[in-house]
Chain A
Amino acid sequence: MNTTESTLYIVNPDVSCREEGPDGALLFNPDTDAVLVINTTGLLIWEALRKPRDKAAVVAELMSRCNNVPADSVAGDVDEFVEQLVARGFVGIYQGVVQF
Chain B
Amino acid sequence: MDDLSLPKVMAAPKSVDIAITGRCNLGCKYCFYADEMVALRDLPTGRWLAFFAELGSLAVQRVTLTGGEVFTRPDLFELIDGVIASRMRYGLLTNGTLITEKTLAQFEQGKRRLRLDSIQISIDGSRAEIHDKTRPGSFDRAIRGLRLLVEAGFPMTVRVTITRHNVDDLENIAHLLLEDVGLKSFSTNEAYACGIVERQEDNLILTPAQRRQAMQTLTDLVARYDGRIGATAGPLALAREAERIEAALARGETGFPGRGTLCGCGGMWSKLAVLHDGTIVPCHNLSGLALGVIGEDDFQQVWLAHPTMVMLRQRHTIPLQSLETCRDCVYQGFCTGGCPQGAVFHTGEVNARNPMNCYRVFKGEDPYFSLETGGAIDYTIRQRNLWSDKGIEEISRMAMQNRATEQKRV
The answer to whether A30 touches B87 (Cβ under 8 A) is yes
**Which of A23, A31, A35 has the largest number of chain B CB atoms within 10 A?**
A31
> How near does chain B come to A70, taking the closest CB pair, in angstroms?
33
Binding site for B on A (CB under 8 A): 14-21, 23, 26, 28, 30-31, 33, 35
Can you list 24 A-B pairs with a CB-CB distance of less than 8 A?
Answer: A14-B87, A16-B56, A16-B59, A16-B61, A16-B88, A17-B59, A18-B59, A19-B11, A20-B10, A20-B11, A21-B11, A23-B8, A28-B59, A28-B61, A28-B87, A30-B61, A30-B62, A30-B84, A30-B88, A30-B115, A31-B111, A31-B115, A33-B117, A35-B61
In the assembled complex, the Cα of A34 lies from the Cα of B295 at a distance in Å of: 29
**Which of A20, A21, A23, A35 has the largest number of chain B CB atoms within 10 A?**
A20
Q: Is the interface of B mostly helix, strand, loop or mixed?
A: loop
Return the contact of B59 from the options A21, A26, A31 (Cβ within 8 A).
A26
> How near does chain A come to B122, taking the closest CB pair, in angstroms?
25
B87 neighbours in A (Cβ, 8 Å): 14-16, 28, 30
B11 neighbours in A (Cβ, 8 Å): 18-21
> How near does chain B come to A87, taking the closest CB pair, in angstroms?
19
In the assembled complex, the Cα of A26 lies from the Cα of B88 at a distance in Å of: 14
Query: B34-65 vs A: 1/0 string, CB under 8 Å?
Result: 00000000000000000000001011011000
B10 neighbours in A (Cβ, 8 Å): 18, 20, 26
> Cβ of B89 < 8 Å from any Cβ of A?
yes
Chain B residue at minimum C-beta to C-beta distance from A15: B87
A16 neighbours in B (Cβ, 8 Å): 56, 59, 61, 87-88
Chain A residue at minimum C-beta to C-beta distance from B84: A30
B84 neighbours in A (Cβ, 8 Å): 30
> Cβ of B114 < 8 Å from any Cβ of A?
yes
The interface on chain B, measured as residues whose beta carbon lies within 8 A of the other chain's beta carbons, has a size of: 17
A21 neighbours in B (Cβ, 8 Å): 11
Seed contacts A28-B87, A31-B115; 8 additional CB < 8 Å A-B pairs: A15-B87, A16-B59, A18-B58, A28-B59, A30-B84, A31-B114, A33-B89, A33-B117
Instruction: Report, nearest first, the 7 A-B pairs whose CB atoms are least far apart.
Output: A18-B59, A16-B59, A16-B87, A30-B89, A28-B61, A30-B87, A20-B11
> Cβ of B12 < 8 Å from any Cβ of A?
yes
B89 neighbours in A (Cβ, 8 Å): 30, 33
In the assembled complex, the Cα of A31 lies from the Cα of B84 at a distance in Å of: 9
In the assembled complex, the Cα of A21 lies from the Cα of B11 at a distance in Å of: 8
> How near does chain A come to B15, taking the closest CB pair, in angstroms?
11
A17 neighbours in B (Cβ, 8 Å): 59
In the assembled complex, the Cα of A29 lies from the Cα of B114 at a distance in Å of: 12
A19 neighbours in B (Cβ, 8 Å): 11
B61 neighbours in A (Cβ, 8 Å): 16, 28, 30, 35
In the assembled complex, the Cα of A31 lies from the Cα of B11 at a distance in Å of: 22
Chain B residue at minimum C-beta to C-beta distance from A19: B11
> How near does chain A come to B146, taking the closest CB pair, in angstroms?
24
A23 neighbours in B (Cβ, 8 Å): 8
> How near does chain A come to B33, taking the closest CB pair, in angstroms?
27
A20 neighbours in B (Cβ, 8 Å): 10-11
B115 neighbours in A (Cβ, 8 Å): 30-31
In the assembled complex, the Cα of A33 lies from the Cα of B114 at a distance in Å of: 10
In the assembled complex, the Cα of A21 lies from the Cα of B88 at a distance in Å of: 22
B8 neighbours in A (Cβ, 8 Å): 23
A18 neighbours in B (Cβ, 8 Å): 10-12, 58-59
A14 neighbours in B (Cβ, 8 Å): 87
Query: B79-96 vs A: 1/0 string, CB under 8 Å?
Result: 000001001110000000
B58 neighbours in A (Cβ, 8 Å): 18
In the assembled complex, the Cα of A17 lies from the Cα of B60 at a distance in Å of: 9
Query: B102-138 vs A: 1/0 string, CB under 8 Å?
Result: 0000000001001101000000000000000000000
Chain B residue at minimum C-beta to C-beta distance from A29: B87
> How near does chain B come to A13, taking the closest CB pair, in angstroms?
8
Chain B residue at minimum C-beta to C-beta distance from A14: B87
Chain B residue at minimum C-beta to C-beta distance from A13: B87
Chain B residue at minimum C-beta to C-beta distance from A16: B59
B111 neighbours in A (Cβ, 8 Å): 31
Query: B4-45 vs A: 1/0 string, CB under 8 Å?
Result: 000010111000000000000000000000000000000000
B62 neighbours in A (Cβ, 8 Å): 30
B88 neighbours in A (Cβ, 8 Å): 16, 30
A33 neighbours in B (Cβ, 8 Å): 89, 117
In the assembled complex, the Cα of A28 lies from the Cα of B44 at a distance in Å of: 29
